[in-house]
């Protein structure tokens, strides 16, 4: 990367040419026709890129995670993810279609299997979602591909970002500031953090925005030097996709694209324009003080949305742990968080001191010292 520019192949994205990503996620519901319709709508709205998620439930959650609160209500997320597991050919076909529309194709893997399937599609760059920022095994796998990547930094502290960049080379990374809440309050975004992150880590920066307003956070992010802006996209907020209730419909996304393009060309002038339109108190609240901290709306998610080590089965006291006994998973609200993912290989061969129920995090007290 050069300065705050993010380079994909020979295309350079920066404050004067922001890469705008329509996060389609799993809104297609596994239906090819719906996926193509989403791609068409995103292209027509001015997106540069469409992003998907390659989902295998067992790479993300334990079945005992239980219900999870999402924008559309409480759901058994493991079961939802199982229904969204698709053959690689689905993503290969939609990648070809997106590229035929002049769009970049991007996807988030959530484990080693999905990462390797994504690699087989020959993507031009990668996306690491916020909960996987501390998943050391996945970061190492993705770093080995030699591709540039977007690293979302929601529900993280500076030390978490630093640890991730010790594995994934900063020279190929773009940090996406994010607030892991659905929806995320605009006043939690603290966008003065963007130039500070760029200065601290020597990486280009951007924003992955979960707020409901189509213009406020994206345009201020562009004014603060964002090279990349990602926002959820849907055909209608009444659609059944997991993230559709907080996504932008075509009219909102088109407004966002127009606001970002204008702000990236005007920079500080765009800030003053928003001050006149929205009021100085609102704009200053969104810009914040530039100090990296967990946002109020995401604090409760720390160490729960992030990854830790969980038992895959009931493990009795005195057992010797094997690779197939545990996995690096998201904890969510019911289960106990476990050891940091960096312990993954260190656990093999360790004896347990007590019973560990299936799904619970494996903690230091569970292991014979």
pLDDT at 69: 80
The pairing of beta strand 307-311 with beta strand 326-330: antiparallel
pLDDT at 270: 83
* CB 179 within 8 Å of CB 201: no
pLDDT at 118: 98
Q: What is the DSSP string of 149-182?
A: EEEE-TT--HHHHHHHHTTS-GGGEEEEEE--SS
pLDDT at 369: 82
193, 197, 203, 207: CA torsion to nearest 10: -30
> pTM for the full model?
0.96
The H or E element that residue 259 is part of is: helix 250-266
Give the whole-angstrom CA distance, residue 6 versus residue 254. Answer: 23
Residues 6+ apart with CB under 8 A from 200: 158
pLDDT in tens, the chain (369 residues): 445 899 998 899 998 899 999 999 999 999 999 999 999 999 999 999 999 999 999 999 999 999 888 777 788 989 999 999 999 999 999 999 999 999 999 999 999 999 999 999 999 999 999 999 999 999 999 999 999 999 999 999 999 999 999 999 999 999 999 999 999 999 999 999 999 999 999 999 999 999 999 999 999 999 999 999 999 999 999 999 999 999 999 999 999 999 999 998 876 788 899 999 999 999 999 999 999 999 999 999 999 999 999 999 999 999 999 999 999 999 999 999 999 999 999 999 999 999 999 999 999 999 998
Domains within the chain, CATH numbers bracketed = 6-299 (3.20.20.70), 303-366 (3.90.1210.10)
* CB 126 within 8 Å of CB 147: yes
Question: How many CA atoms lie within 13 Å of 192's alpha carbon, on the beta-carbon side?
Answer: 11
Give the whole-angstrom CA distance, residue 329 versus residue 132. Answer: 9
pLDDT at 3: 57
pLDDT at 2: 46
């Amino acid at each position: 990367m050069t300065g705050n520019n993010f380079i994909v192949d020979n295309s350079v994205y920066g404050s004067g040419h922001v890469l705008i990503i329509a996060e389609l996620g799993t809104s297609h519901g596994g239906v090819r026709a719906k996926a193509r319709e989403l791609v068409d709508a995103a292209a027509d709205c001015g997106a540069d890129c469409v992003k998907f998620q390659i989902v295998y439930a067992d790479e993300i959650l334990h079945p005992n995670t239980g219900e999870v609160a999402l924008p559309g209500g409480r759901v058994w997320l493991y079961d939802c993810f199982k229904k969204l597991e698709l053959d690689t050919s689905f993503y290969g076909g939609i990648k070809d279609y997106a590229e035929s529309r002049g769009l970049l194709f991007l996807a988030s893997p959530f484990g080693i299997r999905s990462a390797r399937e994504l690699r087989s599609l020959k993507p031009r760059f990668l996306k690491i979602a916020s909960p996987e920022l501390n998943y050391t095994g996945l970061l190492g796998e993705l770093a080995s591909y030699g591709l540039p990547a977007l690293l979302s930094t929601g529900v993280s502290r500076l030390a978490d970002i630093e640890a991730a960049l010790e594995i994934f080379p900063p020279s190929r990374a773009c940090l996406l500031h994010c607030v892991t809440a659905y929806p995320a309050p605009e006043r939690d975004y603290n966008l003065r953090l963007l130039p500070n992150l760029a200065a601290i880590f020597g990486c280009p920066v951007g924003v992955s925005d979960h707020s409901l307003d189509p213009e406020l956070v994206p345009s201020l992010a562009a004014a603060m030097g964002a090279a990349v802006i990602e926002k959820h996209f849907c055909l209608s907020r009444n659609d059944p996709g997991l993230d559709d209730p907080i996504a932008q419909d075509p009219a909102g996304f088109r407004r966002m694209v127009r606001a970002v393009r204008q702000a990236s060309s005007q920079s500080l002038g765009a800030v003053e324009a928003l001050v006149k339109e929205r009021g100085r108190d609102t704009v200053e609240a969104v810009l914040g003080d530039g100090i990296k901290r967990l946002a109020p709306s995401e604090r409760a998610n720390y160490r729960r949305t992030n990854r830790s080590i969980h038992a895959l089965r009931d493990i009795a006291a005195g057992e010797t742990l094997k690779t197939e006994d545990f996995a690096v998973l998201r904890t969510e609200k019911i289960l106990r968080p476990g050891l940091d993912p960096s312990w993954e290989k260190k656990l093999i061969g360790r004896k347990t001191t007590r019973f560990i129920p299936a799904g619970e995090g494996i903690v230091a007290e569970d292991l014979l010292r």
